[in-house]
Amino acid sequence: MSDKEFDGQVAVVTGAAGGIGFAIAKLFAERGATASIWDVDSAAADAAAKKLKDMGLKAHSQGLDVTDEEQIFAARDATLADCGQIDILVNNAGLYPEGTIQNMTREAWDRVFAVNVTGPFFLMRALMEHMKARKFGRMVNIVTVDAYMAKQTKPHYAASKAALLSVMKTYAIELAPHGILVNGVSPGAVATERAKLSDWLEPHTKKTPVGYSAEPEQMAEYVLFLASKRNMFMAGECIIASGGFYVASA
Amino acid sequence: MSDGRFDGQVAVVTGGAQGIGLAISRLLAERGATVCILDLDEGLAGKTAKGLSEVGPEGRAYFGDVTDEASLIAAREKILADFGHVEVLVNNAGVYPHATIRELTVEIWNTMFDVNAKGVLLATRVFMDPMIEKKYGRIVSMVTNDAYIAKPTTPAYAASKAAVLSLIRTFALELAPHQVLCNGVSPGAVATEKTKNAKWLVEKTPLIPLRRPATPEDMAEYVAFLSSNRNRFMTGETIVTNGGWSMF
């Protein structure tokens, strides 16, 4: 296993201007890949790519709204023109808004599903033909432990991620014969900068058996493993990396 | 440190002399681990261990019967005397005899549960102590796709492995505060020397979305990842690595 096992590969990570997405993009770049940072905030995507380039790493940036299929096509074509190929897609972009059954609006529900489910569905479809032609690809979807559980504070978020699990499995079956492995990672408590400002991280960490929340870099390791050539036989599965939270709650 | 390597670590692999266990032993050795093979067949284990010394720091064979706690304690004490520490345990030893509901004898049922389920309990219990002491450990148990499904040809095997799924979760909760992470790997069809020409494997292969059975080396990668310092937040989980088979 080489320290630069992604040498020569191009990894697209959506929602990668900050948080877990940026940690994933950075780890790909550190291990030899060109990290293509796709984000709805194109200035932030450019800044994130610049940060990696300033470290001597290979990076690329692209602004897009993942809910708009035309913008997905444009981002794909621009990335292929700039980087030549796409080996890996990480569907990390997602919304995580509060809501309850009582106060849910149709707009809030639709918005979460548009970003968390519709986006990944059309992103995978837009990239699969390119990967099929090359007979190689890895797609990793960021899900959540909430996909398997009741979630009174975010019912639309939890349901959208449960739907993403289903979409992931369908793509896995469709694409496995072409050498494209589609899987997922379900994080528990991750201490991103935004999570550290929230009121949920501390109580969630207390309920996490290992006694700590994950650093974004720790979560990135699972994504990179599934995206690597060390993963040759796993398809349609989702790794739950929650520090034992899920096992303790089940 | 998260280089995914095992330099300076000691890994114990039960049933590590052949098949999937051998591929696991070999990969851990290649990535820097001192590998201790625990096996009933000391002769075969010794031969395998010698080969490991050529690809890694050192391989050594120990007699160990996973159904006999005293033999496991004796092996642990020898390993600790030889190397001083243990960071990784792979519960790989298992038996897989065919016997339908009607054919099953109580003896077969008991043997299956003794080796496959009680063996995991005992080996994990015996080797967790040096890990607790070091506040670091990784334990990976081999399960199977069959643990999740109806299995008319080998009901006792499937049930014994379902018990392992449960044990993985319990050990995970017990050991999480000590930074000892416990997980499992559930293979589907794997083409080992023993199985590669088996009727069931040949029949199953076209049903696998990846259109091939796994190699033992494919499986070893999952065990190595979960055993490594790159895994710092996953515990109590079992990853299903069956080429997409279970989705139908």
Q: What is the pLDDT of residue A38?
A: 98
Distances (CA, A) of A152 to A99, A146, A195, A245: 8, 10, 18, 17
pLDDT tens sequence across A1-29: 668 999 999 999 999 999 999 999 999 99
Phi, psi of B91 (to 5 degrees): -85, 95
Tell me, yes or no, if A142 comes closer than 8 A to chain B by beta carbon.
no
Structure tokens belonging to residue A128: 């699969």
- A195 in a structural domain: no
Record: contact A246-B236, CB cut-off 8 A: yes
Tell me, yes or no, if B242 comes closer than 8 A to chain A by beta carbon.
yes
- A207 in a structural domain: no
d(CA B3, CA B25): 18
- A194 in a structural domain: no
- A204 in a structural domain: no
Please, is A243 exposed, middle or buried when counting C-beta atoms within 10 Å of its C-beta (0-12, 13-18, 19+)?
buried
Phi, psi of A231 (to 5 degrees): -95, 105
Active centre residues of A (catalytic): 157
Give the position of tokens 């007699």.
B63
Task: Give the distance from residue B214's alpha carbon to the nearest chain A alpha carbon, in angstroms.
Answer: 7
Q: Which long-range contacts (CB under 8 A, 24 or more apart) does B109-117 make?
A: B109/B156, B112/B156, B112/B157, B112/B159, B112/B160, B113/B156, B113/B159, B113/B160, B113/B163, B114/B67, B115/B66, B115/B67, B115/B160, B116/B157, B116/B160, B116/B161, B116/B163, B116/B164, B117/B160, B117/B161, B117/B163, B117/B164, B117/B167
- Chain B 4-43, residues with CB within 8 Å of chain A CB atoms: 4-5, 31
- The chain B residue lying nearest A178, using CA atoms, is B210
- A200 in a structural domain: no
Record: contact A1-B31, CB cut-off 8 A: yes
Q: What is the pLDDT of residue B157?
A: 96
Q: What is the pLDDT of residue B247?
A: 53
Task: Give the distance from residue A101's alpha carbon to the nearest chain B alpha carbon, in angstroms.
Answer: 30
- A209 in a structural domain: no
- A206 in a structural domain: no
Task: Write out chain B's pLDDT in tens, 248 residues.
Answer: 589 999 999 999 999 999 999 999 999 999 999 999 999 999 999 999 999 999 999 999 999 999 999 999 999 999 999 999 999 999 999 999 889 999 999 999 999 999 999 999 999 999 999 999 999 999 999 999 999 999 999 999 999 999 999 999 999 999 999 999 999 999 999 999 889 999 989 998 999 999 999 999 999 999 999 999 999 999 999 999 999 987 54
d(CA A79, CA B26): 40
Range of the structural domain that residue A136 is part of: 10-187+216-242
Select the residue of B31, B209, B235 nearest A210 (Cβ to Cβ): B235
Sheet holding A238-241, edge to edge: A59-63, A34-39, A10-14, A88-91, A137-142, A180-187, A238-241
Select the residue of A176, A188, A222 nearest B209 (Cβ to Cβ): A176
- A210 in a structural domain: no
Q: Provide the whole-model pTM.
A: 0.95
DSSP A233: S
Phi, psi of B233 (to 5 degrees): -140, 10
Domain annotation for chain B: domains and CATH numbers? 10-241 (3.40.50.720)
d(CA A71, CA A65): 6
Domain count for chain A: 1
Task: Give the distance from residue B170's alpha carbon to the nearest chain A alpha carbon, in angstroms.
Answer: 9
- The chain A residue lying nearest B170, using CA atoms, is A247
Average confidence (pLDDT) over A190-207: 95
The ipTM, to two decimals, is 0.93
Q: What is the pLDDT of residue B97?
A: 85
- The chain B residue lying nearest A206, using CA atoms, is B177
Structure tokens belonging to residue B137: 């450990």
CATH code of A92's domain: 3.40.50.720
Average confidence (pLDDT) over A136-147: 97
